[in-house]
Structure 1
Amino acid sequence: MVAEQLDAPDPETLVAEAKAAFRDGAMLTVQARCEVEYEGRTSGYLGPGDRVLVAKPDGTFLVHQPTGHKPVNWMPGGGTVSARTSEDDAVLLARRTNPSERVEARILDAYGLTRFDATDGATYEESGTEAEMHEYIEANPDVLEEGLRIVEHERESKYGFIDFFARDEEGTPVVVEVKRIQATLNHFDQLQRYVSLYEEREDSPREGGVTAGNETVRGMLVAPDASERVQRALRDNDLEFVALSKFDTDAKGSMEAKLTDF
């Protein structure tokens, strides 16, 4: 591992260092006041501001503002990043051909540059996965409801595998769907389809709930969290939500819900 830092490089020095980093397969980070243009499936322009630019050996290019965890502009890996001077400014250009896209960052003032010759062959191993949630629930069904008894794990149905088929303290069937991330309306729809399978078992009248023959069937969606909109949809359809806070996470990328869920 080798890291080199330059303070306030002039445009010519920045371009020379960037070209060397790209040639040698090093990561490049630039702290700068810049403006950014995008051309591709749409077009866009980001006016001057202080940002961090990151170029990776695989062609990934990221433009980060001072706040927020997501880049405001980016190019995924698979393309190229190049450097040049234009009208006395240093310019970093990321492009790819399929689809045809380009992100161009014109550096108006460079505050710092870091070259990082990094080596990393490790594989990310996530704890608290959905499989671990399943194991935890199967061993501790009372965390969902006191007296709940797991009858079958991953019961096959025409819509896919139901995570758990259980019975509550009174013997009522409970269909349990488990999600590792924040519950969404798509997860609500999935649970509703699974519960509907029991409606189809017999043509019996429905009185205040879902019935299968003479049995009421409960549906339970289990996740670390759910928006009020998702919880309201569940309540309005006689379904239930259980928040399993043990598997909550601060990794907002994995917990992030779609805009339609709010």
Structure 2
Amino acid sequence: MVTDAFSEPGDEAVAETVEEAVGSGDTVVVFATCEVDYDGRASGYLGPGDRVVIAKPDGTLLVHRPTGNDPVNWQPPGSTITADCDEDGCTITARRSSPDEVVRVHCREIHHVTRYAADDTAPLKLSGTERDMHEYILENPEEIDDGLRAVEHERETPYGIVDVFGTDPEGRPVVVEVKRRQATLTHVDQLKRYMAQYRESNPDARGILVAPAASDRVKRTLRDADLEFVALDEFATNRGDIASTTFDDFA
């Protein structure tokens, strides 16, 4: 149920709406031209832009760009959300103590704010697992790379079990590591360990990380290690099961 909604609201009205929502356990959505800064494990600054800011009753704060499915900045559940005003506008702050970090959204021009008394207790029913992704790749190796031939499923190595081992049209070994959720730097490190073995005997061996999505930093790290990334978008779109990125992934 919508409790309050304002178009072109004043700064004081927005701050009051956020504070009241936090106190009553409501959700707030703010459309604003804003800047964002972060202090904590590192520090960061996001310049002015039109964004959607969402404050949830569990302490989650999300800042979304007009495109993309992941927030560009965020604080997880358990954060303390406040709002205040000064001569420069309204600032929405989300702070947590473990670790000690804070995100501040400086709203320079606020276009719309809505406060919801939202109720959603329906359970999420997922179909599709990492095993489904394995089977899909084994049945459709061309979706990973043109001419890829899947040779072995779950090959054991000294570093662990390789999800899919194959060869490309040039006869090069291909190691495919599959992740059900969004790829992380930890997944990259895992693939690099596998590739250390194969490249000892064949420097041309290829390593491919497959996941529903990956941040720019993860893709960049893969490229630097001469590794590849393939997104299976349908496993993100149909199942809605991408993990949130971390601040490390925004770098």
- What's the TM-score once normalised by structure 2's chain length? 0.61
Q: C-alpha separation between the residues in 2 aligned to 1:15 and 1:78? A: 20
Deviation of 1:9 after TM superposition, in Å, equals 1.9
Distance 1:34 1:178, change over 3 A: closer
The equivalent residue for 1:40 is 40
User: What 5-or-longer segments of structure 1 have no aligned partner?
Assistant: 168-173, 200-208, 211-218, 235-240, 257-262
Alignment of 1:49-68 (within 5 A): 49-68=49-68
Deviation at 1:55, TM superposition (A): 0.9
Aligned to 1:125: 126
Query: Using a 3 Å threshold, how does the CA distance of structure 1 residues 107 and 142 change in structure 2: closer, same or farther?
Result: closer
State the one-letter code of the partner of 1:189.
Answer: K
Q: How many pairs does the alignment contain? A: 225
Unaligned segments of structure 2, at least 5 residues? 168-172, 212-218, 246-251
RMSD: 4.9
Q: 1:39 is aligned with what amino acid? A: D
Q: Aligned pair in 2 of structure 1 residues 131, 190: CA closer, same or farther (>3 Å)?
A: farther
Alpha-carbon distance in 2 for matches of 1:124, 1:98: 31
Q: Distance in 2 between matches of 1:224 and 1:155?
A: 16
* Residue 189 of structure 1 pairs with residue 189 of structure 2: no
| 1:112 counterpart residue number | 112
- State the identity as a percent: 36
Show the counterpart of 1:203.
none
Q: Which amino acid letter does the alignment assign opposite residue 179 of structure 1?
A: V
Q: Retained in 2: the 8 A contact 1:11–1:88?
A: no
**Correspondences of 1:25-104 after superposition (within 5 Å):** 25-87=25-87, 89-104=89-104
Taking the aligned partners of 2:166 and 2:30, their CA distance within structure 1 comes to 55
The separation in 1 between residues aligned to 2:142 and 2:33, in whole angstroms, is 55
Q: Map Cα deviations across residues 188-244 of structure 1 (whole Å, 9 max, x no partner).
A: 5344356589x7xxxxxxxxx69xxxxxxxx786665999x86x958xxxxxx9x99
Point out the structure with max Rg over C-alpha: 1
Question: How big is each residue's C-alpha offset from its partner over 1:80-131, in whole Å with a ceiling of 9 and x where there is no partner?
Answer: 101223348333111111222222223333211111222333326253x431
In structure 2, relative to structure 1, the CA distance for the partners of 1:160 and 1:92 (3 Å cut) is same
Q: Please give the alpha-carbon distance, in whole angstroms, between the structure 2 residues aligned to 1:73 and 1:233.
A: 29
